[in-house]
Amino acid sequence: MRIQNVPFTVTDWNDVAASEHPGIQGAAYWKTFEAGNIRARIVEYSPGYVADHWCSRGHVLYVLDGELETQLRDGRTFTLTAGMSYQVEDDAPAPHRSSTRTGARLFIVD
């Protein structure tokens, strides 16, 4: 990742309004900062959340709280808990999607 056109910026996430993104079940609430060629988010998934799409975008994702299950289209699944992360490139051969039984809070940069 090459970060371009992003001046030094301090973000107080407490002041960022959340937007709701419904899943097949449950909802995701995004607090988003965008500048230059990056997007940074704190995302909170409600308990029982299941994404409504396969994602091909590259991310660095870090689990702040809760438990996240990430499924790859090739059938592999990974369970991440607080303190774990995954990194994936743009247009990876196996797109991914997220779900959670208990809820999760994430920090994501893409």
> Residues 37-71: pLDDT tens digits?
999 999 999 999 999 999 999 999 999 999 999 99
Tell me the domain boundaries of the chain: 29-109
* Residues whose CB is less than 8 angstroms from the CB of residue 77 and which lie 6 or more positions away in sequence, other chains included: 69, 70, 71
**HSE of 104 in the Cβ direction (CA atoms, 13 Å)?**
25
Model pLDDT for residues 62-95, shown as the tens digit of each residue:
999 999 999 999 999 999 999 999 999 999 989 9
Q: pTM for the complete prediction? A: 0.93
pLDDT of 1 over the 80 cut? no
The secondary element (H helix, E strand) that includes residue 99 is strand 96-99
CATH of domain 29-109: 2.60.120.10
Residue 48 dihedral angles phi and psi, to the nearest 5° = 85, 5
